[in-house]
Chains A and B, each alone.
Chain A
Amino acid sequence: MSFIRLEPRGQASKTMVYVTPLLAVALTLLSGFILFLAMGFDPVRALHAFFIAPLTSVRGLGELVVKATPLVLCAVGLAIGFRANVWNIGAEGQLTLGAITGGGLALAFYGEGGWWLLPLMVIGGAVGGAVWAAVPAFLRLRFNASEILTSLMLNYVALLLLNYLVHGPYRDPDGFAFPESRLFEADAVLPILWTGTRVHLGALFALFAVAGGWLLIARTFIGFQIKVIGLTPAAAGYAGFDQKRIVWLALLLSGALAGIAGMGEVAGPIGQVTASISPGYGYTAIIVAFLGRLHPVGILLAALLMALSFIGGEAAQIAMGLPKAITGVFQGMLLFFLLASDVLIRYRVRFGARRAVA
C-alpha cells in the first residue's frame, strides 16, 4: 500500500480548473529558483531579471504586447482545432508561409504601393498560412495520415523555403548579399499603435481573434459541433455532424491565423523578410493554448505570460549571462507542470495507507 494515493472524485472539480494553471506557474517558478541555484546564479536576481524587470518600463510593456501578438493569433486558431481533436503542430510553418506570401506581396509591389497594399498583404498572409495547413488536412482525410506528423514535418519545409527565398529571389539587390529582403516601404508596414513602443496593428488583429474565437466556440452551432466531436466522436456521428468539414475548418482557420501572425511579424517589428522571423512562436503557441485551457480569454492571459518568458529570457541573458536555452526550459517546464497538475481536476490526493480489510 503506498502512502500517497490518488482517489477519483465523483465529479470534475471546477475550482481546480482555474487553480491548476496558477499551481503550474508556482511550481515552474520554484523549479526555476532551484535551477538557478544549482547553476551558480543568484536565484532572486535571476527571477527578477526574468519576470519583473521587463514590466517596469513602457518600452518593456510594449515589447510584451509585441511578443504576445503572434502567440495569441496562433494559439486561438490552434485551440479551436485542439478542441475538435485536430492536432495542428504546424503553426510555425504556417506562420512562415504567411510571412513569405505577405512579405512577397510587399516586395512585388515595392515602389508602387498604395493604401490597398496592407490589406492585400493581410489577405495574402492568411491565404499562405491556410494553404500550408490544407496539406495536412487533405492527407488526414484522404489517407488517414496523422496531422501531428505531417504538419510538423512541413514546418521544416517552410523554413527551408524561406531560407532559399531570402538567399535568392527575395534578396535585397543593394544589400551586400546579406540574406535579407529590402526594407518595406511605409505602405507595407503596419502602423504603430502606441508611440514609444513597437506595438503595431497586429495587436488589434489579435484582439479580434480573441473575440471572434470566443464567439465561435461559445455561441455558434459550429462551435458546439467542435465541442462534441472533441469529446465524443460517436455522439457526433449520431447527431449527423460532418466531421470532415470540421477538420478542414480547424486546419484552414488556424493556418490563416498563423499566416496573419507571420505577415504581422515581417510587416511589423522586423520590417523585412529575413531568414529568421520567429523564435518558435508556432510551438510556444501550443503551450499558450493549453495554458489558457483552450479558451480565447485564457489564451490572451497565457500569451502575455509566455511573452514575458521570451523577453525575460533575453533580458536575463544580457544582464546576467544566462544561457539562451533558459527560455525554452521555462516554457517546457510550464507545460509539463500544467499537464501534471491536471490530474488534480479528476482525482484528489490522499495520504496514508488504505484501510486494511477486515
Chain B
Amino acid sequence: MATDRDIVAAREIGKAVARELGFDGVDLVVIATAISEVARNIISYAVHGEVEVAELRNGHRRGIEMVARDRGPGIADVERAMQDGYSTGGGLGLGLPGSRRLVDEFSIESSTGGGGTTVTMRKWLG
C-alpha cells in the first residue's frame, strides 16, 4: 500500500475474501470498514505498508484475520492512540479505537525504534 487508492483496493480484497469465507450482510461492511481504517492509518502515518487477509480456523470455528503492517515511525503512546478522539494526524481519532469495536479480537504492536506498527484484527463467523 502506498496511496489512498490502495485503501479502497485493500478493503475490496478483504470484502471478497470475507464473502468467500461465508460472511455476508452487515459483517461484510464491518470487515471492509475496519480494513479501511487500519489501512488509512498506514497511509497517513507510515506511507508504506501492507494489509494481509487470511482465513482463520479454530476447530469448527472459522473466521477472517486481517493484519496491517508498516515500518513507519510507530506510535509513541499506544494506549492514548486507542482512545476515541485522539489523533496526531488531523483525523477524527476514531480509526483504531473504532476498528477495535468492529471486530472480535484486536491487538496492536508498535515500536518507535524502527519496528513500525502491526495491527491484527480477527472476526469469527456466526
Report whether chain A binds chain B: no
